[in-house]
Chain A
Amino acid sequence: EVQLVESGGGLVQPGTSLRLSCAASGFRFDDYAMHWVRQTPGKGLEWVSGISWNSGHIDYADSVKGRFTISRDNARNSLYLEMNSLRTEDMALYYCAKDSRPSIRGGVFDLWGQGTLVTVS
Chain B
Amino acid sequence: DIQMTQSPSSLSASVGDRVTITCQATQDISTSLNWYQQKPGKAPKLLIYDASNLQTGVPARFSGSGSGTEFTFTISSLQPEDFATYYCQQYDWLSPITFGQGTRLEIQ
Residue-wise, chain A 45-64 has the 8 Å CB interface mask toward B (1 for contact) of 11100100000000101100
B43 close to A45 (CB less than 8 A):
no
A44 neighbours in B (Cβ, 8 Å): 87, 99-102
Say yes or no: is B89 at the interface (Cβ < 8 Å to chain A): yes
Q: Which of A26-74 touch B at CB < 8 Å? A: 35, 44-47, 50, 59, 61-62
B96 neighbours in A (Cβ, 8 Å): 47, 59, 61-62
Number of B interface residues in the complex (CB < 8 A): 24
A112 close to B43 (CB less than 8 A):
yes
Main secondary structure of the interface of B (DSSP, over half): loop
The closest CB in chain A to the CB of B45 belongs to A112
- For A44, A46, A95, the residue with the greatest tally of chain B CB atoms inside 10 Å of its CB is A44
From B43, B50, B90, B93, give the contact of A113 (CB < 8 A).
B43
From B32, B55, B90, give the contact of A110 (CB < 8 A).
B55
B55 close to A45 (CB less than 8 A):
no
A9 neighbours in B (Cβ, 8 Å): none
The closest CB in chain A to the CB of B46 belongs to A110
Query: Which residues does B use to contact A, with CB under 8 Å?
Result: 1, 32, 34, 36, 42-46, 49-50, 55, 87, 89-91, 93, 96-102
